[in-house]
């Protein structure tokens, strides 16, 4: 199987805004991004569990995606 159809996890975070900001930034750079939300502890009531958001990128674009992620993290640190 080629890498063309494979996706790789770039980041997992409980921060929904962070993951969608990253997705937008990646797509503006021409990098595809898929976000999945998963409830942690689904056996408990929905209010007791928390969500985790995962951003996936194509394997072929993983290195470029890491650079975008690092740039975003540096920009967030500068704002702090």
Pick the CATH number of 3-79 from 3.40.50.300, 3.30.70.1370, 3.40.250.10, 2.60.40.10: 3.30.70.1370
Q: What strand order describes the sheet that includes 34-39?
A: 7-13, 51-58, 34-39
- At 20-46, the pLDDT tens digits run 999 999 999 999 999 999 887 666 655
Give CA torsion, residues 23, 66, 34, 6, to 10 deg: 160
Whole-number pLDDT of residue 39: 84
pLDDT at 4 over 80: no
The DSSP H or E segment spanning 21 is helix 16-28
* Confidence category of residue 54, pLDDT binned at 50, 70, 90: very high
Instruction: Work out the average pLDDT over 51-56.
Output: 95
pTM: 0.80
């Amino acid at each position: 199987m080629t890498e063309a159809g494979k996706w790789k996890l770039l980041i997992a975070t409980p921060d929904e805004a962070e993951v969608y900001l990253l997705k937008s930034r990646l797509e503006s750079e021409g990098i595809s991004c898929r976000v999945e939300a998963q409830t942690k502890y689904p056996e408990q009531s929905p209010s007791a569990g928390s969500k985790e958001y995962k951003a996936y990128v194509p394997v072929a674009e993983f290195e470029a995606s890491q650079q975008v992620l690092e740039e975003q993290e540096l920009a967030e640190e500068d704002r702090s």
